[in-house]
Amino acid sequence: MHPGSALPDFYYFCFAIYEPFLTVLGFIGTCFDPKTTHDAQAPWTSHSPPPLELPKATLVTMVQLAHVCALVGVINFFVLSAARKHLHSNLALQEKIVSALLTPLLIGDILHIYVTLWALGDEKWRIRDWSPMLWSTVILGLTLLIPRAAWHLGIGRYVHKWHKVSEPK
């Protein structure tokens, strides 16, 4: 039985629908309410409350970061859709193109969670004080990291080196 895609429907949904939805929604939320988005990123204390107003540089950086995240999500949609549509008859090439996109994103998933926890310093261990946004960052990050790792492990998909049809002699 010959599979139809190196990117089955589940993976396509995760990376071409779910991920762009999350990233675009995050960008929209940041644009509409940057102060709340900023303040929800980490726990605050009475000794170190959030600023009353965001410095202009913080606002610009937040919007730029949210834009880049949304752009990555939109790129996923276009690249993965094109790979499925135009490379459906060449699964080995389709797998290589999809891998070229998902490999740096897997590295990014791991680093995103690591850097988030690193930036929290000692407060990373006070998980009961984590904001809903921080919980969302970690949990939603895992909902992308785990399927991306599964795709790389070949779970539930075509893997060219395992499915190669022997060449006629």
Instruction: Quickly state the pLDDT bin for 44 (edges 50, 70, 90).
Output: confident
Domain count across the chain: 1
Does the residue 49 lie in any domain? no
What is the C-alpha to C-alpha distance for residues 51 and 87, in angstroms, rounded to an integer?
51
Using one digit for the tens of pLDDT, what is the confidence trace for 87-125?
Answer: 988 888 999 999 999 999 999 999 999 999 999 888 888
Q: How far is CA 96 from the centre of its chain?
A: 19
Q: HEC states along 98-111? A: HHHHHHHHHHHHHH
Task: Tell whether 62 is covered by a domain.
Answer: yes
In a domain, 2, yes or no: no
Tens of pLDDT along 138-162? 999 999 999 999 999 999 887 877 7
Please state, in angstroms and rounded to a whole number, the distance separating the CA atoms of residues 82 and 77: 8
Q: What is the pLDDT of residues 74-85, one digit of tens each?
A: 999 999 999 999
Residue 3 lies in a domain: no
Domain assignment present for 93: yes
Q: Does residue 165 register a pLDDT over 90?
A: no
Report if residue 46 sits inside a domain: no
Q: Is residue 95 part of a domain?
A: yes
Domain that holds residue 101: 9-39+55-166
pLDDT value of residue 166: 46
| 73 within domain boundaries | yes
